[in-house]
Amino acid sequence: MPEANFGPYHVRKWFTHVEDVLANETGQPADGQPVRRVVIAAAIHNPYAGRFSQDLSDIVAKSDELGREFGRRAVEAAGEAGIQSYGKAMVVGSLGEYEHGNAFLTQVFADPIREAVGGGKSWVPSSGKVGSAGAVIDIPLAHKDALYVRANYDTVSIAFGDAPRPDEVVVAFAFASRGRLHARLGGLAAEDVRGEDGLR
């Protein structure tokens, strides 16, 4: 078991991915500010790798500490562009269970991130898989305060090189500064969000 180096966890590696989208797929320049997409991720030792346990508290209990660091890094990477959308994902190494990845993504972990990005009334869309190092994961995005804002439904696809190793989980959180460029399928506009119930 690797020695803990971040609270009760052993984090082997942090990842920060930033992309600025200046035009859409057909070359239309941004209708306003470019979209900044940020992914913050960590390759974390899985304390349950290779064994079954009914109790997953070794992951869940202190995951708010991870959440605070994810939030700090996200706000720093987003910069002045800000954060309007979010989503989360995990890739579990081959010695772990899908459930181990989900244990990292509970509300205990997500609430400090919501706080860091200015609230976050809506639920956080998520995805996950069991995979080998370099596996690609699609992270869904939605407006952080109102799920009815269709323009903010988006996806970030990303891989993490040498992670996850078989006894690791890659935990990832994605963010975007705005909705898709030239979104034109209707729905609630971001500027009309009331932020009351996570839907509108």
Q: Considering the entire predicted model, what is its pTM?
A: 0.95
* Residue 197 is assigned to a structural domain of this protein: no
* Residue 199 is assigned to a structural domain of this protein: no
CB atoms within 10 A of CB 126: 17
* Residue 172 is assigned to a structural domain of this protein: yes
* Residue 5 is assigned to a structural domain of this protein: no
* Residue 134 is assigned to a structural domain of this protein: yes
Provide the domain count of the chain. 1
% of residues, the chain, pLDDT over 70: 100
SS3 state at 76: helix
* Residue 1 is assigned to a structural domain of this protein: no
* Residue 4 is assigned to a structural domain of this protein: no
How distant is the alpha carbon of residue 125 from its chain centre?
Answer: 9
Question: 9 forms bridges with which residues in the sheet?
Answer: 6
SS3 per residue for 113-173: HHHHCCCCCCCCCEEEEECCCCCCEEEEEEECCECCCHHHCEEEEECECCECCCCEEEEEE
Left (φ > 0), alpha (ψ -120 to 50) or beta: where does 27 sit? Answer: left
Give the pLDDT score at 197.
79
The per-residue pLDDT for range 21-78, each reduced to its tens digit, is 999 999 999 999 999 999 999 999 999 999 999 999 999 999 999 999 999 999 999 9
Residue 174 near residue 29, CB atoms below 8 Å = no
SS3 state at 66: helix
> Pseudo-torsion of CA 148, 152, 157, 162, nearest 10°?
-90
The CATH number of residue 63's host domain is 3.30.1330.110
Give the pLDDT score at 148.
87
**pLDDT of the chain along its 200 residues, tens only?**
899 999 999 999 999 999 999 999 999 999 999 999 999 999 999 999 999 999 999 999 999 999 999 999 999 999 999 999 999 999 999 999 999 999 999 999 999 999 999 988 899 999 999 999 999 999 999 999 988 899 999 999 999 999 999 999 999 999 999 999 999 998 888 887 877 777 87
* Residue 198 is assigned to a structural domain of this protein: no
List the domain range (segments joined by +) for residue 98.
Answer: 11-192
What are 89's two structure tokens? 């994902």
What are the percentages of helix, strand and coil residues in the chain, rounded to 5? Answer: 25, 30, 45
